[in-house]
Every structure is written in structure tokens, then in C-alpha cells.
Amino acid sequence: MLAIFSQVNMERKSIPTYKEWAKYLKKIRIGIQVVNSVLSCWDSGVAVVVGTDGRRIC
């Protein structure tokens, strides 16, 4: 019984938790926001300055 439990526990560690996924997805979302803001600033022909938090300052 204990052996089965420890094996399940090992398998669970290899699967990323919800918090790890959320952190990863948040980074992707911020990256997309930065790219979108840079592209939209370029479209309007304005110099681009992007803050570290992903907000655009055109």
C-alpha cells in the first residue's frame, strides 16, 4: 500500500501544478501585450517605450 502511494506521489510531482501553469501563462500574456503594444505604436508612427509591467507608454 505504501509503495503504491509513493509511486503516485512521484508521478504527481512531474505534472506541473495549477500555480506553475498560471505563472507561465501570465508571462506569455505579458509578452503578447508587449508585442501588441509595440506593433500598435509602430503603426501610429510613434516612438515606443514599453514599461517592465507590460503597459505601453507611447
The domain spans of the chain are 18-57
Alpha-carbon gap, residue 58 to 52, rounded angstroms: 14
How confident is the model at residue 7, as a pLDDT? 61
How confident is the model at residue 1, as a pLDDT? 52
How confident is the model at residue 26, as a pLDDT? 92
Claim: this prediction has a pTM higher than 0.75:
no
Single-letter code of the amino acid located at 3: A
How confident is the model at residue 29, as a pLDDT? 92
How confident is the model at residue 41, as a pLDDT? 67
Alpha-carbon gap, residue 30 to 14, rounded angstroms: 26
Angle made by CA atoms 41, 45, 51, in degrees to the nearest 5: 30
In the chain, beta strands by DSSP E:
49-50, 56-57
CA distance between the termini of the chain: 62
For 1-58, write each residue's pLDDT tens digit: 556 555 655 666 666 788 888 898 999 998 898 888 777 766 665 555 655 555 655 5
